Chain A
Amino acid sequence: MNLMPDFNRFLAAVRHKETDRVPLGEILIDYSIQSQFLGRPVAADDLPGQVEFWSKAGYDFMPITVSMMSPGKVTEESGITRVLKEMVLREKPGTTDPKAWNLEFTSFIHERPDLDKFPWEAAADIDFSKLHAVKELLPEGMKVIAISGKIFTLTWMLMGFNNFALKLVLDESLVAEVFERVATIQFKALETIFGMDHVAGVWVVDDIAFGTGPMISPAALKKHVFSWYKKVGDRCHENSRIFLMHSDGDLSVLMDDLIAMGLDVIQPIDPSCMDMAKVKKQWGDRICLIGNVSNELLRSGSTPQIEARVKELLRDAAPGGGFALGSGNSVPNWAKYENYTAMRETCLKHGSYPISIR
């Protein structure tokens, strides 16, 4: 089995072509998993270690976050936390509770005056150092996908979900302005990203749905979120980059709109509410799918269960290309390591084209 990174392999899958094997794809793999794989510690500041992991584990690209927020959660280290902390301490010197500047606990834009008070310029100061530094470390054939975006999530987090939802109906223009300010920051970042040859795509990580369906109406998503993402997609394609998206939840009623906005890849096809075989049948010829081994299975399942599930996915989604195998979200530290390796190895063992699993 060829483990050498080859971004053309992934690109072929995105273009619905079969190559030597089904690619692997993740937005995030916890450092504890990377450490176990390499047999030595890999940490957030160990970029060479991370590159070694992604390339040796059989991935054709490694994801690197360049947005204001880490994928999944806001941490003390997130750029947005730093900006908010400075703002809070400027307004209320002596504040010591970190919850005061953590978007998981608090929000900042409730009414129109808050919009102008917010330090947008500081928030737009995104750190690209990791993205620059990785260039010299990448083995031949390997590319980087920049994780950016979060236009929807960042907007509602800045406003607080209840307030955001109410204002979307009661003061739509305020919400539209927050969307615009957040999106403008993302667009500025895109131009820097496009200046880097080793970055082959932009992956927006933005949860827009619950398990029961969209978090706001499809019409509102189309008007306020997808309109921006269409521009992101257009800019990506103009610059010969691919455009990927991650969202949890049931996206069924949104799939046609997501495809129409120019999305090349959707991940992870949330296994708690979406059926990969059905998604492949209905939309698989128009968009590339990445996923969708359940994280619950990675946490509590057995390796035979993982193997069986990976084989099902290869059988249902891999023929004809347009598919990369991965987890049903990301690979967290609570996934069993043996299950992660079983997922990866089963794909490498049984994912050679043409797929022969019946």
Chain B
Amino acid sequence: MADHLNTIQGAVIGGKHGEIKGLVQQALDAGLDPGGIVNDALIAAMDVVGKDFGDGKIFVPEMLVSAVTMKAGLEVVKPHLAGGESQSRGTIIMATVKGDLHDIGKNLVSMMLEGAGFKVMDLGVDLNVDKLIDQVKALQPDILGLSALLTTTMPEMQKVIGELKAQGLRDRVKVLVGGAPVDRAFAEKIGADGYGANATEAVELARRFAGAKG
């Protein structure tokens, strides 16, 4: 059993996207628990990938290929999951704030959150406050992730948090912020629940928030 899990882990970490489906199928055929394949092989592998990325051992391309590999493996195992097992760890809205078109960082965080088992609704870039509030109402996420690359657009984050408060939604959603000009002090100042310096930290925070909710 451990062999199968280790092989799947290794394939995700090594970005063997051409092999992953066959490996997951072999594990299922050998009678391995589908939930175990997800948690102990696929998600566990992405934890290693995230750590390696955070430590500067691998870079964005390698991380993305691992994420794509993980997703391909997940597609094979998903139909075999029992109802409860297929539930995500939580729903997260991701968006770059108004006036800002940068999305590389946001996309990386989205990929890593998906890899960690969250359901991610990526709303794209240049999202104004009203649109974001509408989506928070409609999708009722557990977490709202906001990204900004420009010092001129980061004040938008504060406006979003202010509007969440004004509309009585603030207690229903955790707000996670990130992006090159953003730091912990800014996140605290605007009343965000968390700041992720990179994708790995963002995933850690999301897990903490999801755990706190549970």
Contacts and interface: CB of A to CB of B under 8 A. Distances in A.
Interface of A: 104-105, 161-162, 165-166, 168-170, 210-217, 220, 253, 272, 295-296, 299-300, 334
Given A169-B15, A170-B17, A212-B198, A296 B61 contact: no
Contacts of B152: 299, 334
Contacts of B17: 170
B151 A216 contact: no
B151 A165 contact: no
Contacts, number: 54
A169 B180 contact: no
Nearest to B17: A170
Contact of A168 (B61, B151, B181): B61
Contacts of B61: 165-166, 168-169, 216-217, 220
Q: Which of B56, B61, B151, B152 has the most CB of A within 10 A?
A: B61
Contacts of A296: 151, 181
B60 interface: yes
Contacts of B107: 161-162
A220 B151 CA distance: 30
Interface in B23-80: 56, 58-62, 64-65, 68
Contacts of B64: 162, 165-166, 169
B59 A215 contact: yes
A211 B201 CA distance: 15
B100 to A, nearest CB: 11
A166 B17 CA distance: 11
Contacts of B68: 166
Nearest to A249: B180
A105 B101 contact: yes
Given A169-B15, A170-B65, A296-B151, A104 B101 contact: yes
B25 to A, nearest CB: 21
Q: Which of A168, A169, A210, A300 has the most CB of B within 10 A?
A: A169
B190 to A, nearest CB: 15
B104 interface: yes
A213 B152 CA distance: 23
A215 B17 CA distance: 22
A247 B58 CA distance: 20
A75 B107 CA distance: 23
Nearest to B152: A334
B62 A295 contact: no
B213 to A, nearest CB: 29
Interface string B3-37: 00000000000010100000000000000000000
13 contacts: A161-B104, A165-B60, A165-B61, A166-B64, A166-B65, A169-B61, A169-B64, A170-B17, A213-B59, A214-B59, A216-B60, A217-B61, A220-B61
A52 B152 CA distance: 29
Contacts of B15: 169
